[in-house]
Amino acid sequence: MDMEVRWREILKILIKSKGPLTTEDIARKLKVSSRTIRNDLDKIQEFLVPFGVRVVKKPRTGVYIEGASEKKAELLDRISQSDSFYVEPYSQQEREKYIIWKLLQAEKNLTTQQLADELYVSKATIYKDLDYVEKWLARHGLKLVRKPNYGVEIAGSEENFRKAISDFLVNNGAVDELKELVQNPLIHPLDRRLNPDIFAQLV
């Protein structure tokens, strides 16, 4: 069995398990030695950090994946769909959409560190993503304000805010896709900014 395939299978087994498993349990399922599994687990650990989960090994208890249920579900989905173990937690396009949506519904500034933590990437990557976000906002008559030691926020008229939000919803599968993307229901900033008639048509 190819090493990357085995790593994905180990993760699938651990994520789907209802409790801790011993390395012997995993080894039997994959028809390899316990030593191989122990070595694999050490190597897998470093690649899990961006996904917000980690491998926990407890003596006389076993091995399990620690992390929020939604993070484990997301990881399982990604390793099931990919041919490679080395999967970016979010694509560039997903990050750009996420940042735009966060900014459109934010009531106060967002820091680049906050965005980097939420998307499991470096601040340098966020800076690059913001270049695209800035262009997208400009096309909608809005400005991305960047202030050192403060963060980023959108400046512009309420009319342009409403148009930008409406356009974003329409071009991204309306509410259903956005709920999945942001993992959060539509909240009060949008209630104020989005034209009620347009919103009613979308939902």
pLDDT digits (tens, 9 = 90+) for 41-51: 988 876 776 67
DSSP state for residue 21 in the 8-state scheme: B
The reply to whether 31 and 9 lie within a common domain is yes
Residue 57: inside a domain: yes
Instruction: Decide: 89 and 119 in contact? Cβ < 8 Å.
Output: yes
What's the rounded Cα separation, in Å, for the pair 91 and 40? 26
d(CA 117, CA 123): 9
- Judge whether residue 86 has pLDDT over 50: yes
Same domain as 163, residue 112: yes
CATH of the domain at 14: 1.10.10.10
Residue 147 near residue 112, CB atoms below 8 Å: no
Instruction: Kindly report the average pLDDT of the chain as a whole number.
Output: 80
Give how many domains the chain has, as a whole number.
2
Same domain flag for 191 and 121:
yes
CA–CA separation, 102 and 79 (whole Å): 26
List the domain range (segments joined by +) for residue 28: 3-81
Contact between 71 and 77 under an 8 Å Cβ cutoff? The reply is: no
Is the predicted pLDDT of residue 183 greater than 50, yes or no? no
Average pLDDT (186-190) is: 41
User: 151-155 and 54-58: which strand pairing?
Assistant: unpaired
User: Nearest to residue 52, comparing CAs of 115, 117, 99, 103?
Assistant: 117
Q: Could you give the CA distance from residue 16 to residue 73 in angstroms, rounded to a whole number?
A: 9
- Round to whole Å and give the CA distance between 50 and 30: 26
